[in-house]
Amino acid sequence: MPTKRLSRELIQQDVESMNGLNAVYGYHTSRPEATLEGLQLAYRTMLAKQQIETEQQVIAREAAEAARQAEHNFHQAVLAMKEAVKGQFGSDGKEAVAIGLKRKSDRKLPTRKPKETAATA
């Protein structure tokens, strides 16, 4: 199973080679995939699979955008709920702690550190 995609240039060269086969008179092979019909079938299959891939990429991008939007909507709803809880019960109650907020009284007030003076010699 191939793990790396072929370059567009290589694919284009292959298409040109297949089209050039029409100018080769007397071409005959026992390998079914190398016949003109086999090449055309492989080409049509490749185009169909590429089209499906493109369609699925568009669908995946749209789904990712919808999921991102839903995440932001959910986050905004949670922020609104937290504000409503703080407004209804205050920011120092057990209700604030229940929704993941820190109590106002549990916050440490900032303290000043005394300035260090140069050591006297």
Count the neighbouring beta carbons within 10 Å of the beta carbon of residue 96: 19
- Cα separation, 45 vs 36, in Å, equals 14
How many helices (H) and strands (E) are present in the chain, helices listed first? 3, 0
Taking all residues of the chain, what is their mean pLDDT, rounded to a whole number?
A: 89
DSSP letter string, 88-110? HH-TTSHHHHHTTPPPGGGSPPP
Confidence bin at 107 (pLDDT 50/70/90): low
Q: What is the pTM of this model?
A: 0.64
From 73, 22, 67, select the one nearest 43 (Cα to Cα): 22
pLDDT score for 33: 93
> Each residue of 41-52: pLDDT tens digit?
999 999 999 999
More reliable by pLDDT, 100 or 15? 15
What is the four-CA torsion angle of 73, 78, 80, 82, rounded to 10 degrees? -170
